[in-house]
Structure 1
Amino acid sequence: MNKLLRTALLSLSSLLFTLPVLATSNVSEPLRHAIAMHGEPAYGNSFTHFDYVNLNAPRTGSLRRSAMGSFDNFNAYIVKGVTADGTGYLFDTLMQQSGDEAFTLYSLVAEFIEVPDDRSWVRFHLNPNARFSDGSELTASDVEFTFNVLIEKGVPQLRAQYKEVTRVEVESKSVIKFSFKDNKNKELALILAQLPVFSEKDWQGKDFAKANLNIPLGSGPYTIKSFDAGRSIDYQRNDDYWAKDLPVNRGRYNFKHIIFDYYKDGSIAFEAFKAGDVDFRSENISKQWATGYQGKNFMSGKIIKEEIQHQNPQGMQAFWFNLRRDKFKDPNVRKALGLMFDFEWTNKTLFYGAYKRSDSFFSNSELAATGIPKGDELALLAPFKAQLPPELFTQVYTLDKTKGDGRVRKQQRQAIKLFKQAGWTLKSGKMLDANGKQFSVEFLAYSPSFERVIQPFRKNLQRIGIASEIRIVDVSQYVNRLNNFDFDIYTLTQAQSLSPGNEQLSMWGSEFANIPGTLNRIGLQDPVVDALVAKVINATDRDSLITATKALDRVLLWKNLVIPQWHISSYRVAYWQQIQRPEKLPKYGLAIDSWWHQDTTSNTGN
């Protein structure tokens, strides 16, 4: 769940620190304070804090944020219901990821990690001071309970990530060992290190899979002070938090309160921000960014507007097809529909030219496929040549470009030709199948602001005889319809990390195509993709990971699974002047938990 990771490894300067082997028969490897997916951790064993925090930040005040829709539970790890924003503040994980490395984890609940060179198992040695927020002891039995309940009742993607764990052993009150099917999955030890820890005692007699508003007992930096069901939630910092002085936490969690207020409409949330009822806002609507952030509070500096560059992979924002529907099974049909989306006109007219067209499932990263396959990537793809489009090996994948003037006649002709190849006929202004039924699509969305993107697309589809409609639903309905595959086409960003691994199985794996709540919402079932996902998961070093991911990306693109939309390589944020941030931010995130509330009449620096 934490693995929406980051972009390229740092040049690492610190060797992985190892402690002497303890005098016990259970210990067979050196104990480490950190683990990196590839290479060595950047922070040595004596580090005192991450580089992107301010140790002098005031630890007071509040951060009020907006959220959309509603909520009906506090459990982000189940399929049912809609979870309140911010519940991650309630739970500590075994180890903490750094924001300036691709995938490196440091001691938190687990004081030390023990893992062999081949990563065929992992042992966690828990911090003896680890406590839940009520002061009760956090033990290895709680970790075992958490793992088992997530396997049995958690979201499907967790079962995908943990599937190769063959044995869990509680060796003592503070030591737990996970053994793996084999030593091929080098990432699994790190995935387990991101395990949140639930209280076994707190969950006794409760149904973990049920969506309700029972407040769970956590071990994290915040507890729920109060909430108004579906409308707001107030997280209060636990000043008795057991881990507040650990190196991974120093300079973080500076706000006394973090509050999420819920709004039914994005425009109302924006007005609340401008009125000062919301402190911080991340903007994803270009028109609003270009024209809406104006007025005396912006001119006076009371509201700060920033574009902050980052190095995060941008994944794929797209129109996603439901491949379970017969009408979308032919790739020619999917390609034809994509030709009718005029990105150039959309970007120029609606977005003030702010975006780049996404042409990769790993946009803005070294993992994106480029050119034609060569070298190791070609060798990896060659065994599947008979199952892949011939063009994949000889042509650069490109998306059709228009002149941006709203005229798509060339694309119309190409699309009609592709539909004809798929068995459809344009007759009397309607695209008909062999039974005389018109091709129709429903666009599922939760934001009314997205209508301005879909409406011009619909007009272009009408030109080739396709009927369409837009279905705007609230966030909870949207989530439920996606979880139950009740859609034709939806819009969403499939986020990616700079260190892809086990989560790819849930995104693309055939075995997850028909499991409600899966990340494989489109229902992809493809043996070549399955084989390449395995190559990604089992990559032994950074170079082989990049090669396998590029091959996977290339195959996904050539299958025309989506109609790519756009991305931007910066955060567009605005915040009131009392909210301040460190001068240095990590390469792979905003690290909002390192920001603070500043009395603007004082002079505390950053």
Structure 2
Amino acid sequence: MYGDPALPPDFVSLPYVNPDAPKGGKIVLGEQGSFDSLNPFIRKGRAPYGVRIYAFESLMGRSWDEPFTLYGLLAESVETSEARDWVEFTLRPEARFSDGSPVTVEDVIWSFETLGTQGAGRYRNAWNKVEKIEATGEHSLRITFNEPDREMPLIMGLRPILKKAQWDGLDFKNSSNDVVPIGSAPYVIGDFEYGRYVNLDRNPEYWGNDLPLRRGTMNFDTILYEYYGDGDVVFEAFRGGLISTYREGNAAKWMTNYSFPAVQKGDIVKAEVPNQRPSGMRGFVMNTRRAMFKDWRVRQALIEVFNYEFINQTLNDGTQPRITSYFSNSVLGKTDGAAKGRVKDFLMPYADDLLPGALEGYALPASDGKESNRRNLRAAIKLMEEAGYVLDNSGVMRAADGTPFTFEILLNQGSAEPQMIIDIYVEALKRLGIFPKVTAIDNAQYIERTKPYDFDMTYYRRSTSLSPGNEQNLYWGSAGVTQPDTRNWMGADSPAIDGLIDEMLNARSQDDFVAATRALDRVLTTGRYVIPIWFSRSSRLAYDKNLKYPETISIYGDWSGFLPDIWWHSED
């Protein structure tokens, strides 16, 4: 994205893999929820996560030891202009689909056009920036863009490529469950049962085994995804030896719940995998499409009541650092105090619309750690009064017309940790005269309600990378206020957010990019859309002793490209 790739043209393998890792074995991964489709590219249905990643290939692939750098995969070369207003890819003649047929320019163009017009929203948004796509040779094609966006050549390099002939005469966007899509990646879809499991089997005839980008990766013969309806059941399946690895998100449980016999005998290994990526945002999002959350003072009041220090001590023994902004824990995160330099320059055009703290500086409230949280509770009552509410003599917070201030907290019933946090939070809200309704529903119902933003408050998690780009429009761009099924659950509708995303996308230097992202971070954080909880500077992984991973860890750590991508099986 900026500067030169870290690896030379003749690199042998990625720096964080074991190029000599043995092939073979099986890994079983536990997933909460269900699936009813094998097509991960359309809005209809729910497909297994691993199908998109391991069965379908793109023109280029990432190195996860760089913020955003791509190397050739299906494409043997790439060319673009200084302005990046077009990009041309040349395919490797040896590239093949899993059925042995060649990957052609026709397949690539059809994939781009079909995903862009009939696929999920993330594909359509990028397609709107394409002016034309055309073949320029037997193995080459060019994409010309209709607006400035320096990230688009990279985005197009990561689009999945499908086999056109498989879909002749079929309705792609409404494909039935009988269609098993064909890809060109190391794995093919094997045995499966909807809602229960899916096998991804390594293709022994995979065309790209000797590519530098692939050497030492995709080592398991089989990746099996087992689906469970509840997160606690996933853990019990791991304890019982039914799945191979488990990510523990709770620090206290990491200390207390892993003394079962398999751990004591050494059959299960515990490891903490560090990373250098941003914290992202995790917490409880307020839907500003709802009238009760439109006033920022109300949102700030609800943040004041959230006694983080007490909750962290109760659930985590006080060990977890709090998320302080959307890009905290990284160079992209907002700094303390007033905005300065280029960050201030980027914010000033929107000064009249910014909420308090964006320019002057903003920090989350901290409590004294006591359950009473009196100081913050007083601040919350004052903010509610300024927003037009009053705490009456009966201990109920009411609007001027006497209507009680209340809202619904929607939870996925399989998520234990959010439920424990909310139990404590609800007790704190009662001291403010607010008595919310907590509704826990199954995974299918939860998806049906969150896609059209049919909730007041719910648990929210968004990962952010070291190279944020076009996905930011999907996360919090104003188009998502009315467009269903985006990730803008909070309903952010801010010219500053849209404008700063544009500045990020068109930055010509790393300094401007960092400054624009820090400015965006200030606007998002002072929007008071989410009540943040904690993050971890490392991932906690428990896994079967026969699973191995390299000693060198990429800057992204346990993220995309790590498990099971570069792991292997060994019984030594």
- Check conservation: 2:117, 2:127, Cα contact below 8 A: no
Shift in Å, 1:390:
5.1
Shift in Å, 1:458:
0.5
Per-residue CA distance 1:520-553 (angstroms, 9 max, x = gap): 2222111122111111111112111100000011
Q: Which residue of structure 2 lines up, in the alignment, with residue 61 of structure 1?
A: 25
**Residue 376 of structure 1: which of 334, 342, 356 is its match?**
342
Shift in Å, 1:347:
0.7
**Residue 225 of structure 2: which of 260, 273, 282 is its match?**
260
Task: Summarize the Cα distance change of 1:205–1:353 in structure 2 as closer, same or farther, 3 Å threshold.
Answer: farther
Structure 1 residue 225 and structure 2 residue 225: aligned?
A: no
- Check conservation: 2:350, 2:495, Cα contact below 8 A: no
**Equivalent pairs: percent with the same residue?**
39
Structure 1 residue 596 and structure 2 residue 568: aligned?
A: yes
Q: Which residue of structure 2 lines up, in the alignment, with residue 443 of structure 1?
A: 409
Counterparts of 2:180 and 2:442, CA distance in 1:
24
Counterparts of 1:390 and 1:577, CA distance in 2:
52
Q: Which residue of structure 1 lines up, in the alignment, with residue 82 of structure 2?
A: 117
Q: Which runs of 4+ in 1 moved over 6 A?
A: none
Q: Which residue of structure 1 lines up, in the alignment, with residue 529 of structure 2?
A: 561
Q: Which residue of structure 2 lines up, in the alignment, with residue 161 of structure 1?
A: 126
Counterparts of 1:390 and 1:314, CA distance in 2:
23
**Residue 520 of structure 1: which of 480, 488, 491 is its match?**
488
TM-score (norm. length: structure 1): 0.90
Shift in Å, 1:236:
0.4
Counterparts of 1:493 and 1:245, CA distance in 2:
37
Shift in Å, 1:502:
1.1
Q: Which residue of structure 1 lines up, in the alignment, with residue 330 of structure 2?
A: 365
Counterparts of 1:206 and 1:404, CA distance in 2:
60
- Check conservation: 1:85, 1:260, Cα contact below 8 A: no
Q: Which runs of 5+ in 1 are unaligned?
A: 1-36, 601-606
- Which residue identity lines up with residue 557 of structure 1 in the other structure? T
Counterparts of 2:268 and 2:217, CA distance in 1:
23
| DSSP-derived class of the 1:318 partner | strand
Counterparts of 1:272 and 1:480, CA distance in 2:
27
Per-residue CA distance 1:154-206 (angstroms, 9 max, x = gap): 22233233432211112234211111124x31111111110110111112232
Structure 1 residue 327 and structure 2 residue 292: aligned?
A: yes
Moved more, 86-95 or 378-387: 378-387
Moved more, 496-505 or 425-434: 425-434
Moved more, 132-141 or 160-169: 160-169
Q: Which residue of structure 2 lines up, in the alignment, with residue 466 of structure 1?
A: 434
Counterparts of 1:474 and 1:93, CA distance in 2:
34
Counterparts of 1:391 and 1:142, CA distance in 2:
50
- Check conservation: 1:50, 1:248, Cα contact below 8 A: yes
Q: Which runs of 5+ in 2 are unaligned?
A: none
Q: Which residue of structure 2 lines up, in the alignment, with residue 392 of structure 1?
A: 358
Shift in Å, 1:567:
0.8
- Check conservation: 2:418, 2:459, Cα contact below 8 A: no
| DSSP-derived class of the 2:499 partner | helix
Per-residue CA distance 1:60-89 (angstroms, 9 max, x = gap): 110011000111112222223222131121
- Check conservation: 2:274, 2:553, Cα contact below 8 A: no
Shift in Å, 1:318:
1.9
| DSSP-derived class of the 1:357 partner | coil
- 1:480-559, aligned counterparts within 5 Å? 480-559=448-527
Per-residue CA distance 1:378-404 (angstroms, 9 max, x = gap): 12212222222354333x311111111
Q: Which residue of structure 2 lines up, in the alignment, with residue 10 of structure 1?
A: none
TM-score (norm. length: structure 2): 0.95
- Which residue identity lines up with residue 344 of structure 2 in the other structure? L
- Check conservation: 2:328, 2:334, Cα contact below 8 A: no
- Check conservation: 2:19, 2:215, Cα contact below 8 A: yes
| DSSP-derived class of the 1:86 partner | helix
- 1:14-163, aligned counterparts within 5 Å? 37-87=1-51, 88-163=53-128
- 1:281-320, aligned counterparts within 5 Å? 281-320=246-285
Counterparts of 1:519 and 1:205, CA distance in 2:
33
Shift in Å, 1:598:
0.7
- Check conservation: 1:72, 1:211, Cα contact below 8 A: no
Counterparts of 2:128 and 2:508, CA distance in 1:
19
Moved more, 469-478 or 494-503: 469-478
Counterparts of 1:390 and 1:276, CA distance in 2:
52
| DSSP-derived class of the 1:308 partner | strand
Counterparts of 1:162 and 1:71, CA distance in 2:
27
Counterparts of 1:401 and 1:426, CA distance in 2:
23
Q: Which residue of structure 2 lines up, in the alignment, with residue 195 of structure 1?
A: 159
| DSSP-derived class of the 1:159 partner | helix
Q: Which residue of structure 2 lines up, in the alignment, with residue 28 of structure 1?
A: none
**Residue 310 of structure 2: which of 325, 333, 345 is its match?**
345
Shift in Å, 1:366:
0.5
Counterparts of 2:536 and 2:383, CA distance in 1:
31
Q: Which residue of structure 2 lines up, in the alignment, with residue 18 of structure 1?
A: none
Counterparts of 1:204 and 1:128, CA distance in 2:
23
Q: Which residue of structure 2 lines up, in the alignment, with residue 408 of structure 1?
A: 373
- Check conservation: 2:267, 2:544, Cα contact below 8 A: yes
Shift in Å, 1:211:
6.4
| DSSP-derived class of the 1:572 partner | strand
Task: Summarize the Cα distance change of 1:156–1:388 in structure 2 as closer, same or farther, 3 Å threshold.
Answer: same
- Which residue identity lines up with residue 51 of structure 1 in the other structure? P
Counterparts of 1:409 and 1:573, CA distance in 2:
38
Counterparts of 1:527 and 1:536, CA distance in 2:
14
| DSSP-derived class of the 2:310 partner | helix
Instruction: Give me the CA root mean square deviation.
Output: 1.5
Task: Summarize the Cα distance change of 1:561–1:456 in structure 2 as closer, same or farther, 3 Å threshold.
Answer: same
Q: How many residues align?
A: 562
- Check conservation: 1:425, 1:433, Cα contact below 8 A: yes
- Which residue identity lines up with residue 48 of structure 2 in the other structure? A
- Check conservation: 1:95, 1:105, Cα contact below 8 A: yes
**Residue 207 of structure 1: which of 150, 165, 171 is its match?**
171
- Which residue identity lines up with residue 545 of structure 2 in the other structure? Q
Per-residue CA distance 1:274-320 (angstroms, 9 max, x = gap): 22111111111223212111133223321110111111112111211
- Check conservation: 2:477, 2:497, Cα contact below 8 A: yes
Per-residue CA distance 1:433-483 (angstroms, 9 max, x = gap): 233221112112221342111011011111111121222222232222211
- Check conservation: 1:448, 1:472, Cα contact below 8 A: no
